Structure 1
Amino acid sequence: MKKTHIILIGLLPVQLIGLLFIKNHNSWIDVYYSQKFYPLLFNIYRFFFEKIPFSIGDLFYAIIILYILKNIIMIFKRKKIVWLTIIRNGLSFLSLILFIFNFNWGLNYYQTPLHKKLYYNINYKKIQIEKTFKILIKASNNLHKKLVKTDSLSVEISYSKDFIAQKIEDEFNFDLYKFKPKPYLKNSLWGTLLSYMGYSGYLNPFTLESQVNNKIPKLSYIITSAHEMSHQLGIASEREANFVAFYSCIKHSDPFIQYSGYTFAISYFYSELFNIDPQKAKKIMKKLNPGILKNLLEISQFWIHYQNSFEPILKKGYNSYLIANGQKRGIKSYNDMVGLVIAYLEKESL
C-alpha cells in the first residue's frame, strides 16, 4: 500500500472523531474558522475564480464524475476484480474529499446558530404565523400595485438575468450581523441538468462559487441568487440562508427584488400554516392579489415541467447530506426560516 493511501485512510477516522469534538465547541468555529480563516480563504478563491466567466466548480464536478466512471469501467474490464484495491482507493478518495470539503467550507455547519447571535427566539405559536403571514401578504400586495396596473396581472420582470445578478451583488446586505466575505454570482453551466434534478442553485464547497440555475423563472432567480450568496458569507444552514436572502431582498432599493423576497416568504408561511390549520391558511391566502398567485403558479409549473423519476432519489440523497451535516430536519429545514422571519419582524415592530 502506498504511503499516500496509508495517510489518507488513517486521516478518515481522525476527521470523523474531530467533527464529533467540534460539534460541542461552536465558539472555536466562530472565532477561528468562520470569522478569521474562512473569510481569508474565500478572498483567495475569489481572486482566482471571480473574473473567469464560467463556473470552475461545475467543471470540477464534471471531471470528478468522469474520473469515477472511468475507474468503474476499468474495474469491470479486468478479468479479476481486486476488492482490496477498490476499498483502499475508495476510502482514500473519500478521506480526501471530506478533508477538502470541511477545510474549505463545511466547518461552517458547526458555528453558533444565527438566531443565537441575533438573540432571536425562534419558537412561535400559530397566532404568530397568522399575524406575520398577513403582514407579508399586505407588503406583497402593496408592491404588486406599484409594479402592475391591475391586481389580476402577474409581475413581469424586464431585466435580464445578468442584470439581476449585478443588482443583487451591488446591494447584497445583511447588516444585522457582521460577515466579512463579499459574495458574487455565477450561472451554472448545467442549468437544464439542475432543473431535472430539482435544484435552483448551489454553493460549490470546493471552489466557493455560488452557482445559480439560469433556467428558472426570474422571480426565483432573484431569491435563489441571494440564497446562494448567503452561503458564501459562511452561512451553512439552509433556514439561515433563506432568512438572509429574504432580508437582503426586502431591504434592496429595487421593488422587483423586494417583491421576490416577500413572495418567497409567503410560500413558506402558507405551507407552515397549512400543515397546522389548512382552512385558516386558505382563508388568509385569499387576501393575496390574483396576479401574485399567477407568479407563484408560474414557478410551480416550471418545476412540474421538469419532474422525473430520478428527482426523488436525488432529493433523498440531498436530505441525507443535510442531516449528516447537523440539519436534523433535512430538506424540511428550508421551512424553518419561518421562525427567523417572525422573530425579525416582531423585533422590527418594537
Structure 2
Amino acid sequence: MCWYICYIFFFNISWGLNYYRIPINKQIEDVNYSYDDLNKFTIELIQNINKLHNKLTISDTLKVILPYNFKENSRIAINNYTKLSKKNMSNNNENSLMIKSLKSISNFTNNKNNENIKESIISYPLTYMGFSGYLNPFTHEYNINGLIPNNSIPMVMSHEIAHEIGFSSEMEANFIGYIALINSDNLYYQYFGNTFALKQCLSELQKDNKEIYNSHLSSINRGILKNYREIFEFWDNYNNPLEPIIKKIYDSFLKINKVKNGIRSYNQSLSLILNYNKFYND
C-alpha cells in the first residue's frame, strides 16, 4: 500500500497534476460545429491533401513514404514545436481559441532536444496492447513504439510532445499535435497532419451521410487511401483478445484522472480542429 501511495504522489508532482487543468474545450465559449462546417472543411482538406500528395509522389496512385529515420523524425518533431512556440500571433484576442490553445506551447523552450524521444524497449507488448507510444511522467521521455509504420511517426511524436508540455487529455494532445504538424516547414509532416484531420472528418461524415461520405472518398487520390490502408492493416494484424482488456483498464485510468470520455477522447479533437481552422479563415 505504501508503494502505491508513493507512486501516486510522485506521479502527481512530476506530471499528473496536468489532469486537473481546465481543458481547452472548457475554456472557449463554443466548440460546436454544424454539418455544413464539417462538409466544407472536408472539401478544403481533400483539395489541400491532394495537392500535397502530388508534390510528394510521382503518381496519384502511389502512397506517400516518409523518408526519415527515427532520429531525423525526432529532430523534425522538436523543431516543429520550437517553431510553433515562437510563432507570432497577429490576433491578440485573449478569448480566441488560438491564444488559449497555444499558451502552454509558448512556454516550450529551446532546451528540448531529440534525446527526449526514445524508441520503446517494449514495442512488441505496446503493439499487442494497441498503443503507439507513451510519455514517461517521471523522466519526461517520449517513448515511441518502434514497430508502427514510419508514416505514423509524425503524429505519434507530436501527440506525445503535447502531453509533455502539459496537455493531458488525448483530445487535446491530438489537437496540439495536429497544429504542430500543419504548421511545419516540412511537406511530409504537413501531409500527415492533414490526413489525420481528414480521417476524423470522414469518420463523422460516414455516420451522418453515407452518400456524401462516398462522394468525398471518390475525390481523394488513391495513393492517400493506400496510406490509410497501410495503418489499418498494421493494427489489424495485431488484433488479439488481450487488447480490449488493456484498453478498458486504460479507459478507467483516464476517467479516474478527470478525462471524462476516457479512451474515446482520442477521437474527439475534431471540434477543436474545426474551430481552429475557422479562426484562421475568419
TM-score (norm 2): 0.87
1:149 equivalent to 2:52? Answer no
Indicate the residue corresponding to 1:278 in structure 2: 210
Q: Equivalents in 2 of 1:193, 1:159: separation in Å? A: 25
Which amino acid letter does the alignment assign opposite residue 185 of structure 1?
A: I
Structure 2 gaps of 5+ residues are 88-97
Q: Equivalents in 2 of 1:273, 1:311: separation in Å? A: 27
Secondary structure, counterpart of 2:58 in structure 1? coil
Q: Which of 115, 127, 143 is matched with 1:195 structurally?
A: 127
Indicate the residue corresponding to 2:9 in structure 1: 99
The percent identity for this pair of structures is 36
How many residues were matched structurally? 259
Indicate the residue corresponding to 1:38 in structure 2: none
Q: Equivalents in 1 of 2:128, 2:226: separation in Å? A: 23
Alignment of 1:195-214 (within 5 A): 195-214=127-146
Aligned-pair CA distance for 1:221 = 0.8
Offset from partner CA, 1:121-153 (integer Å, 9 cap, x none)? 211122222122222211111100100111111
Alignment of 1:165-244 (within 5 A): 165-172=74-81, 173-174=84-85, 175=87, 176=98, 177-179=102-104, 180-182=107-109, 183=112, 184-244=116-176
Contact 1:120/1:340, CA 8 A, preserved across alignment:
no
Offset from partner CA, 1:291-347 (integer Å, 9 cap, x none)? 000011001111011111101110111111111112221111111110001001111
Q: Equivalents in 1 of 2:167, 2:249: separation in Å? A: 21
Q: Equivalents in 1 of 2:9, 2:155: separation in Å? A: 31
Pick closer, same or farther for the CA change 1:97–1:278 going to 2, 3 Å: farther
Q: Equivalents in 2 of 1:329, 1:274: separation in Å? A: 21
Indicate the residue corresponding to 2:41 in structure 1: 132
Aligned-pair CA distance for 1:116 = 5.0
Contact 1:108/1:234, CA 8 A, preserved across alignment:
yes
Contact 1:120/1:343, CA 8 A, preserved across alignment:
no
Aligned-pair CA distance for 1:113 = 1.7
Contact 1:214/1:221, CA 8 A, preserved across alignment:
no
Indicate the residue corresponding to 1:112 in structure 2: 22
Which amino acid letter does the alignment assign opposite residue 202 of structure 1?
A: Y
Indicate the residue corresponding to 1:35 in structure 2: none
Structure 1 gaps of 5+ residues are 1-90
Indicate the residue corresponding to 2:271 in structure 1: 339
> Structure with the greater relative contact order (CA < 8 A, sep ≥ 6): 1 or 2?
2
Secondary structure, counterpart of 1:328 in structure 2? coil
Aligned-pair CA distance for 1:120 = 6.1
Q: Equivalents in 2 of 1:300, 1:123: separation in Å? A: 29
Q: Equivalents in 1 of 2:11, 2:234: separation in Å? A: 32
Provide the aligned C-alpha RMSD in A.
1.6
Q: Equivalents in 2 of 1:120, 1:257: separation in Å? A: 30
Q: Equivalents in 2 of 1:341, 1:239: separation in Å? A: 10
Secondary structure, counterpart of 2:205 in structure 1? helix
Q: Which has the larger radius of gyration?
A: 1
Which amino acid letter does the alignment assign opposite residue 274 of structure 2?
A: I
Alignment of 1:8-157 (within 5 A): 91-117=1-27, 119=28, 121-157=30-66
Which amino acid letter does the alignment assign opposite residue 335 of structure 1?
A: N
Which amino acid letter does the alignment assign opposite residue 185 of structure 2?
A: S
TM-score (norm 1): 0.71
Indicate the residue corresponding to 1:309 in structure 2: 241
Indicate the residue corresponding to 1:164 in structure 2: 73
Pick closer, same or farther for the CA change 1:116–1:328 going to 2, 3 Å: closer
Q: Equivalents in 2 of 1:247, 1:241: separation in Å? A: 10
Secondary structure, counterpart of 1:133 in structure 2? helix
Which amino acid letter does the alignment assign opposite residue 105 of structure 1?
A: W
Alignment of 1:281-296 (within 5 A): 281-296=213-228
Q: Equivalents in 2 of 1:187, 1:111: separation in Å? A: 29
Offset from partner CA, 1:47-88 (integer Å, 9 cap, x none)? xxxxxxxxxxxxxxxxxxxxxxxxxxxxxxxxxxxxxxxxxx
After TM superposition, which residue ranges in structure 1, 4 or more long, deviate above 4 angstroms?
Answer: none
Which amino acid letter does the alignment assign opposite residue 236 of structure 1?
A: S
Q: Equivalents in 1 of 2:245, 2:204: separation in Å? A: 24
Contact 2:80/2:181, CA 8 A, preserved across alignment:
no
Contact 1:272/1:335, CA 8 A, preserved across alignment:
no
